[in-house]
Structure 1
Amino acid sequence: MSDTFIDHAWYGPPAAMAAALAGQANVIGPLVLDGVAYATVRAPEPLPLPPGVLSMGPQLSRVLHGSWMGDAAPVPPEVTNFQAHTALRHAGLFDAAAAAVEAKAAAMEEAGDTLGAVTLREAWVKASFVRASPLIADLATVLKLTEQQLDDLFRAAAAVSV
């Protein structure tokens, strides 16, 4: 499998979008605004346009996913755990990220670093996420995120509030 991904930005009726996204592994969205669903599918190869959906331009896609072309908001150096987990869920990456953290913790335990494994698991559920941390770099590698995609995730996380 290739390490290069193509972003396919689609929009359309929610039912058509749900059908289009079924079985896709790397999905950002869908986001439904005024009855229209928007999503981006990251795939290693070009995908045909599914029935009932349309392709959107890169400007609209980036605006919907938290950054503006050429004028992106600054990347926050740190976000809360809640913000990070929420952004990962909205990007469809939470389960893969949680599995990567657990695999790393299990490897630490197997190597005899029980305290390190406990600390890592605790950090995953309690600590804030620092953009420059080694854990974030490791997760980005496992999730095959580019620097731009990781920055966009941090921007999206910073926008989360309750």
Structure 2
Amino acid sequence: MLRYLAALPFALPAFALGATIAGIVSRRFGRQIHEHPAVVFLWLASLSLILAATLTPSSQAFEAHEGLRTTRVWIWSLPSPGALTHVNWQSMNLLLFAPAGFASGLYSGRRNVMLFGSLALLSSLAVEVVQYLLIPLGRAQFNSATVIIGWIGITVGVLVGVLVSALYRRGRSRATAPA
């Protein structure tokens, strides 16, 4: 939890910039892929939230001593079951990645759901690799548990998004059906 709070001074402006860019490009991109601009905006904004929260330097990065800034750590572990019942860094990652999955599930075409869901899954892995490689971020570690918990959040988000989308289309078809 403290990791995210320490990154707030940099993450909030980065998210605002990302959401602004998402708002600018979502209409045109939505037309190109034949999707509603609001769904495209939600997906791009959720991706900018992930990037802002994970790839901006934390304020601690500037205060860390030299040994910490140059040490890289590779950790192979599974997520803690407590991530589902307690607030910790893993549960925060689960919540951070779930909106990208949810937005992926809202796409109307099965092909787009698969494409953007897969891109969201790749973003979890890419974030960990970039954090590992870019030492100035102050998070020079790769943790497989973080990737897996991100995938769980995205998968749950996709399932919820598909369910919401199906219920919306079902309700809409009932409203337009002749009585």
TM-score by length of structure 2 reads 0.29
TM-score by length of structure 1 reads 0.31
Larger CA Rg, structure 1 vs 2:
2
| Greater share of helix | 2
| Greater share of strand | 1
